[in-house]
Amino acid sequence: MTKTWIAAALSAALTAALATGTAHAADTLTKIKETGSAVMGVRESSGALSYTLGDGKFAGFHVEICEKVLADVQKKLGLAKLDVKYQPVTSQNRIPLVQNGTVDIECGSTTNNAARQKDVSFAVTTYVEEVRIAVKANSGITSIAQLNGRNVATTTGTTSVQLLRKHERAAGVDFKEVFGKDHADSFLLLETGRADAFVMDGQILAGNIAKSKNPADYKIVGEVLSVEPIAIMIRKDDPAFKKVVDDSIIAMMKSGEIAKLYDKWFVQPIPPANTKVGLPASEATKNAWAHPNDKPVEDYMKK
């Protein structure tokens, strides 16, 4: 009987410990306060949203927004100092790294959709994207129909080619997918002729073109494949952290700061080469700032 009681007590203690650990993992504010640090997930080649400057330095619209959000988190928690760590993520590992606690806030180019909402949460939408096609300027390609028999580059872990295949004008169009491990790799496939087109978010295409050796050699063409809300990603079922993140971003929207940040990264020259992406904010993006929400892409598709 004593052995049975001891076993039961150990089992109960283990269950309680696991429950406490799970709860703690979901409580990002507590984690940040106890460690004095926060981990920001960043992308190395997501256009002007998030990209590397080399030597472990990252920049971009979403990177700067997240830096300001984390400054507000630091203030709320009363921390004298907050150590912000930058963790490069890819299209493939970004969601698992948020889920398992490696990354606290993912500041890249992630589309908010219903499938992903089952695994993670999203802050209010900060950018509304149009998925397009980039080609060589001398390719003669101007539409989806002309991709028949061609190689089309996409980045592993993204949804762009699925969108292309589902488009009404893609009926009967037979193309071969070639995969890049990240957006820079996918653009390299186009640059070197291993792909005839690169299908991706318009700003990512524009950003990679702007940073290429000869930007005039490329153009963005064809029908808009999808309109997608892009947002900062955080762990699921952590309402306290989501509220702090949302409140910070909404304050930037109301003050006009987010519009100024957008102009800084998408209209003005940006480092390291001081080139311009040249992509003024769309009406859909401005509307998202005027009416903050975390609706998934499926809500946009209903319109």
What pLDDT is stored for residue 13 in this prediction?
Answer: 44
Instruction: Check residue 166 and give its pLDDT.
Output: 86
Q: Is 116 in the same domain as 32?
A: yes
Residue the block writes with tokens 């952290």: 241
Residue 157 lies in a domain: yes
Q: Which of 188, 203, 228 is the last residue of a domain?
A: 228
Identify whether 196 is part of a domain: yes
Beta strand residue intervals within 89-150, DSSP E: 105-106, 120-122, 127-136
Q: Let me know whether 69 and 211 are in one domain.
A: no
Both 122 and 238 in one domain: the answer is yes
Distance CA 278, CA 199 (A): 19
Estimate to the nearest angstrom the gap between the alpha carbon of 150 and the chain centroid. Answer: 28
CATH number at 181 reads: 3.40.190.10
Q: Let me know if residue 213 belongs to a domain.
A: yes
**Do 274 and 135 share a structural domain?**
no
Per DSSP, helices labelled H in the chain are 2-26, 28-35, 61-77, 94-99, 114-117, 160-166, 183-191, 202-210, 239-255, 257-266, 283-290, 297-301
Same-domain check for residues 35 and 111: yes
Domain boundary among 175, 199, 228: 228
Residue 94 covered by a domain: yes
Residue 12 lies in a domain: no
Q: What is the pLDDT of residue 257?
A: 98
Same structural domain for residues 106 and 151?
A: no
Provide the domain count of the chain.
2
pLDDT at position 303 is 55
- Taking each helix axis as running N to C, give the angle between helix 28-35 and helix 239-255, from 0 to 180 degrees, rounded to the nearest 10: 90
163: Cα separation from own chain's centroid: 17
195 inside domain? yes
Give residues with Cβ within 8 angstroms of 151, minimum separation 6. 175, 176, 177, 178, 189, 194, 195, 196, 197
Based on the domain organization, do 76 and 120 belong to the same domain?
A: yes
Query: Among 183, 213, 228, where does a domain finish?
Result: 228
Residues 85 and 221 in one domain: no
Enter the pTM of the model: 0.79
Q: Given this model, what pLDDT does residue 25 score?
A: 52
Could you tell me how many residues make up the chain?
303
**120 and 148 belong to one structural domain:** no
Instruction: Tell me the residue range of the domain where 46 lies.
Output: 28-126+231-301
pLDDT, averaged in runs of 10, over the chain (303 residues): 44 42 68 98 95 96 98 98 98 96 97 96 96 96 95 91 85 93 96 97 91 94 90 97 98 98 96 90 94 94 68
User: Does 208 share its domain with 249?
Assistant: no
Residues 64, 197 within the same domain: no
**Is residue 2 situated within a structural domain?**
no
Count CB-CB contacts under 10 A for residue 146.
19
> Same domain for 118 and 151?
no
